[in-house]
Chains A and B, each alone.
Chain A
Amino acid sequence: MSRTSLRRSSLYVGGGSPAKILEARFCAADCIVYDLEDSVSPRDKDAARLLIYRAVRYHRPPGKYVLIRVNGLYAPQLGEDLEAAVRARPDAIRLPKVETAEEVLRIDKRIGEIEAEAGIPQGATELWCNIESALGVANAREIATASPRVTALALGAEDYTASMGARRSKTGWEIFYARMRVLEACRLAGISAQDAVFSDIDDLEGLKADLETARGLGFDGKTVIHPRQIDIVNAAFTPTQKEIRQAKRVLQALEEGIRNHTGVVVLDGSMVDKPMERRARDILARAAAAGLETEGEWS
């Protein structure tokens, strides 16, 4: 199973369309999310389920992190969705509208049963939980740590703002608290934090501004709903050359400090402390994952 370690962009792909499923193989998104939920009409759920199953099991896009979004936790289709999705052997199943840790445990147990029946190694199927309501945001920490399968939380802003009675705006102030709470839950659990969709696919400047906020807060990636958003999202979550150079300088300064037995290391007038080192290492790790040159003389 080839997968990328990058989780910068996750593209939703409608499960009812063979053309879109095929096109997704060639897009630049790090993660492909084959969708059985919102993009598929109730009468075509069975057809989409088979299409996605065959596409993922036998024609998996190489080098991508592959997810299948199943129908809601209380939807009548969920049982069969899980049967098909787990057996298709994606990297993860994306659960919509998760609100409690108990819901995660219920799904975790069922996935484990299907893995056992199908001869799939226990725990191979990861879970991404969509947090899309006030209750989900309130319980984000418990959801993030409910099961070792949970490797990411993804904020769903449209449903969340509806549940709050808030008006959705491009500035994103109405989701600021939810973003921070989801992000904090992810950091405490040591899992990936995925930002909400930017719905206006024609407003690429608005998308850039939204990404500035998301990246600045600390998110690892963002869900996209149209291929034209992918490059911009990938760029936002890839360290710039300037950031890489500065990160290298920080680590070089630390190396020199160790070599020269200097107690305090100073760079450009500022003391290099542990948080700076951690940030520098994180930047270089993300740059290396994106295939950028990060060679240096530090360890």
Chain B
Amino acid sequence: MEIKETSMVGTLELGDVEITLWPNPGKGIEIELESDVKLQFGGAIERAVREELARFSIENACVRLVDKGALDCVIRARMACAICRGVGVPYDWAKEDGEK
């Protein structure tokens, strides 16, 4: 899938992350992260972002995250929403039916 338009999800409240996603045709995945815990958790956050993009088969996108201490599940939920908005498709709820 391709990101068609810029999307923005989340807030700058404590425990949240503000994600901006925009098209990056033919240039792969580029991630820009701003976080007070970047040294400790930057790798894990970037991994979560890449895994969510991969789940939607997104190969080209720019992602900017302003993290305010969001947990992994929050980052993944915000990413999934940003991708759906950017691609212009609803979330496929049946996708995880087989998962435990």
User: What is A's interface to B at a CB cutoff of 8 Å?
Assistant: 16-19, 22, 46-47, 49-51, 53-55, 57-59, 80, 83-84, 87, 117-119
Contacts and interface: CB of A to CB of B under 8 A. Distances in A.
Interface size class of B (residues with CB under 8 A): 20 to 34
Contact of B73 (A58, A83, A84, A87): A58
A19 B15 contact: yes
A118 B10 contact: no
Nearest to A19: B15
Interface stretch (B23-31, B33-41, B56-64, B86-94): B86-94
- Grouping DSSP codes into helix (H, G, I), strand (E, B) and loop, the A interface class, with mixed when no group exceeds half, is helix
Interface of B: 9-11, 13-16, 70-71, 73-74, 76-78, 80-81, 84-85, 90-91, 93-94, 96-98
A24 B90 CA distance: 28
A19 B97 contact: no
Contacts of A57: 96
A76 to B, nearest CB: 12
A80 B16 CA distance: 23
A59 B75 CA distance: 14
B97 A118 contact: yes
A49 B93 CA distance: 11
Q: Which of B73, B84, B91 has the most CB of A within 10 A?
A: B73
A17 B98 CA distance: 28
